């Protein structure tokens, strides 16, 4: 199943996001099951909590700037519950075996990619059969930011279709 939702700003939580918990419950994943979640483009600290009343959760954060984030955290003597792993979404096949995750979570990250379609393909590759991919985004973020900084792509839902576009594609 694919879930697409416009991003609502919220502070990172320690609990498993309700969107993930509900997706697992709706899929009929049995209570007590271990769940492995890939947080794609996690940033320095994952926003995916691991506390759940229903599941044993392992979160694996991955970010292309992970080495820099770890250095900054270390420099400022800050601890993180889970440190991100260095990696690009376009190259998940170099990091993980196929069908490694129950859930792939990409929150405000795929619009930073150089090839978001490849990111989605790679995410499906590491997703278990019947797994859930959740893409959370600000609609048309590249337009709003005039294609400055990391925002290279617009994501939107138009006429029930998921749209990915840039200035040229």
pLDDT at 1: 52
**Rounded Cα distance, 44 and 62, in Å:** 9
Looking at the chain, the whole-number percentage of residues with pLDDT higher than 70 is 92
In the numeric block, the tokens 């993930």 are attached to 20
Q: Can you read off the two tokens belonging to residue 128?
A: 């278990």
Q: Can you read off the two tokens belonging to residue 4?
A: 């697409």
pLDDT tens, 98-149?
999 999 999 999 999 999 999 999 999 999 999 999 999 989 988 888 888 8
pLDDT at 12: 41
Q: Which residues pair with 168 in a beta bridge?
A: none
In the numeric block, the tokens 């979404």 are attached to 89
pLDDT at 79: 77
Q: Can you read off the two tokens belonging to residue 25?
A: 């419950």
Number of residues that this document lists for the chain: 169
pLDDT at 5 over 80: no
- Residue 98 CB coordination number (10 Å): 12
**Rounded Cα distance, 17 and 61, in Å:** 15
């Amino acid at each position: 199943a694919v879930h697409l939702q416009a991003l609502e700003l919220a502070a990172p939580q320690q609990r498993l996001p309700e969107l993930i918990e509900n997706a697992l419950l709706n899929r009929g994943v049995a209570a007590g099951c271990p769940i492995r979640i890939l947080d794609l483009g996690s940033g320095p600290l994952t926003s995916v909590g691991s506390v759940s009343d229903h599941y044993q959760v392992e979160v694996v954060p991955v970010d292309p700037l992970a080495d820099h984030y770890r250095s900054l955290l270390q420099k400022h003597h800050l601890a993180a519950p889970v440190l991100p792993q260095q990696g690009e979404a376009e190259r998940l096949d170099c990091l993980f075996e196929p069908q490694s995750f129950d859930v792939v979570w990409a929150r405000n990250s795929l619009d930073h990619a150089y090839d978001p379609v490849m990111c989605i393909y790679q995410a499906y590759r590491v997703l278990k059969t019947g797994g859930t991919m959740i893409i959370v985004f600000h609609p048309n973020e590249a337009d709003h930011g005039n294609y400055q900084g990391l925002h290279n792509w617009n994501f939107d839902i138009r006429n029930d279709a998921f749209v990915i576009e840039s200035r040229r594609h």
